[in-house]
Amino acid sequence: MLFSGAFTALVTPFRDGRIDEEKYRELIEWQIQEGINGLVPCGTTGESATLTHEEHEEVIRICIEQAKGRVPVIAGAGSNNTAEAIRLTRYAKQAGADAALHITPYYNKPTQEGIFAHMKAISEAVDLPLIVYNVPGRTALTVKPATMARMFQEIPHVVGVKDATADLTQISETLELCGPDFCLLSGDDFTVLPTLAAGGAGVISVTSNLMPRKVAELCSSFQAGDIARARAIHYALNPLNRACFIETNPVPVKTALAKMGWMSTELRLPLVCLQPQSEAYLERVLESLKLL
């Protein structure tokens, strides 16, 4: 399997409206020291939607530089504009990324044929492994299992999917149609364990921003056949998973990182700070897990 285990969908620290490079490097270094299996800059959790093109490239560059080849980096390079997605993917390859993560085109609402054509154009333009990001809650469309299988079979650089549907029927059918060489990574922290049980390779996780060692251990325990240990970690992480999605991601996880001393809570509009009752709930969970 090309990519397996726990990958962190990294937040992007800001200070005074700019990328806080020092805090970002510190977070990446801690993630690697804690045993994370890989890193994903410029995804949803990294607030990619409000990064300028120059900032997007900077975030990818910093992550790859700090990782120093110790873990793979899957760079977010998606767009609803195919030409823009190609440009970002070219940069990711030039910077040394191991793969690019491509959200399905949002707002445009292409057909299944349009999704296929979008990924095919990217693959033809850039020689880099591609992970499709299937997140219908954000994009208003779903990559159907048959379409995913067709992309895997007919588009040379498509190697897998980040499946954030939380739909185990869809996940199982995708794996059934794509076969054992396909890399399916859960994009939903609540369904990591059942995704692994169905044949998934791991997770691109939000929660691992806060507990990278435990999320990585969940995956490694399952892969080693210690199902009881994996199940115990799954249930132990569930309160934190709930807290991380009490409001729109990445607001809760960034707030948690600030409370843990890693960075400021600075977000970019239209994202705003947690409501007081949500913040109090998050703090109780963090205290219960001894993260403060």
Positions marked catalytic? 133, 162
**E strand map for the chain:** 5-9, 14-15, 18-19, 38-40, 74-76, 99-103, 130-134, 158-163, 183-186, 202-205
> Rounded to an integer, what distance in angstroms lies between the CA atom of residue 222 and that of residue 154?
31
Q: How far apart are CA 82 and CA 156, in angstroms?
A: 17
Distances (CA, A) of 78 to 54, 87, 101, 158, 269: 15, 10, 6, 14, 20
Q: Tell me: cis bond preceding 270? Omega within 30 of 0 counts.
A: yes
d(Cα 12, Cα 159) in Å, to the nearest integer?
A: 26
Encoding tokens for residue 155?
A: 């588009």
- Token pair for 103: 């959200």
**Rounded distance, CA 251 to CA 270, Å?**
11
Q: 50: how many CB neighbours lie within 10 A of its CB?
A: 14
Contact 24, 59 (CB under 8 A): yes
Token pair for residue 113?
A: 């044929």
CA distance 111 to 228: 42
- The tokens describing 242, both together, are 């709930």
At 174, give phi and psi (nearest 5°). Answer: -60, -45
